[in-house]
């Protein structure tokens, strides 16, 4: 099983990347938390990998840190939660927010994430409350240095990329568009990462 990839970042999208390892391009599904911390395209990247194998599928899920991967494994150990929903959970909030929500029985926060109903949130809390405690004070591993500033993309490109990411995460187009427009209307940094962060906060308050 593939547990780690180190290579050149060929493609970078909000929900997936392609990493060139010795001339072979591996497509890896990632959560937004990993996307925020990725290097620029063409840089060397290291990802912790979970390999999901079924009869007709072999899919790779990648994480920037060992802590993030460990939290993902705990999440998908819960009945009814598969890898895709696990990625959605880690895209809807940071690892610290996820751990805090589980440990404090915050059903309202968990059920704001698309695909997470009350019963699923209750299972998360019941099955993981004690298991995630060990992660709440753990320090992130495998952190790399700050990535260099990239050239600022156009507003249209940022809007399109952010909308695509939110739709992939299960948000309705109308809600996603309103949140993105509101985030863009605030001014400030116009990058996919920044707009997604602000849009997700707005969607969480809806």
Segment 71-123, tens digit of pLDDT: 999 999 998 899 999 999 999 888 888 888 888 888 888 888 888 888 999 98
Do residues 31 and 74 both lie within one domain? no
Predicted pLDDT at 165: 86
Do residues 39 and 73 both lie within one domain? no
Task: Return all residues near 137 (Cβ < 8 A) that are at least 6 apart.
Answer: none
- Tell whether 141 is covered by a domain: no
- Tell whether 78 is covered by a domain: yes
Task: Return all residues near 135 (Cβ < 8 A) that are at least 6 apart.
Answer: 67, 70, 71, 74, 95, 99
The count of structural domains within the chain is: 3
Do residues 33 and 71 both lie within one domain? no
Q: Residue 88 sits in which domain range? A: 66-135
Tell me which of 135, 164, 183 is where a domain ends: 135
Do residues 52 and 87 both lie within one domain? no
Give residue-wise pLDDT tens across range 118-152.
899 998 988 998 888 777 643 322 322 334 444 55
Location of structure tokens 């390999």: 51
- Tell whether 178 is covered by a domain: yes
DSSP H/E element including 109: helix 107-110
The C-alpha atoms of residue 62 and residue 80 are separated, in whole angstroms, by 21
CATH number, domain of 162, equals: 1.10.8
The C-alpha atoms of residue 102 and residue 67 are separated, in whole angstroms, by 16
- Tell whether 142 is covered by a domain: no
Length of the chain: 206
Predicted pLDDT at 24: 94
Check: CB of residue 39 under 8 Å from CB of residue 32: no
Task: Return all residues near 85 (Cβ < 8 A) that are at least 6 apart.
Answer: 76, 115, 116
């Amino acid at each position: 099983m593939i547990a780690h990839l180190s290579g050149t970042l060929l493609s970078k999208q909000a929900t997936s990347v392609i990493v060139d390892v010795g001339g072979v391009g591996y497509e890896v599904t990632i959560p937004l938390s990993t996307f925020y911390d990725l290097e620029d395209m063409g840089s060397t990247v290291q990802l912790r990998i979970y390999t999901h194998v079924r009869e007709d599928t072999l899919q790779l899920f990648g994480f920037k840190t060992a802590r993030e991967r460990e939290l993902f494994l705990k999440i998908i150990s819960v009945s009814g939660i598969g890898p895709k929903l696990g990625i959605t959970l880690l895209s809807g909030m940071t690892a610290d927010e996820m751990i805090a929500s589980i440990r404090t029985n915050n059903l309202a926060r968990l059920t704001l994430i698309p695909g997470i109903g009350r019963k699923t949130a209750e299972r998360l809390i019941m099955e993981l409350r004690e298991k995630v405690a060990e992660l709440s004070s753990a320090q992130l591993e495998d952190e790399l240095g700050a990535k260099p500033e990239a050239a600022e993309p156009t507003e249209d490109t940022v809007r399109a990329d952010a909308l695509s990411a939110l739709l992939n995460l299960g948000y309705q187009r109308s809600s996603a568009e309103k949140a993105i427009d509101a985030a863009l209307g605030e001014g400030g940094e116009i990058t996919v990462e920044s707009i997604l962060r602000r849009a997700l906060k707005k969607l969480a308050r809806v």
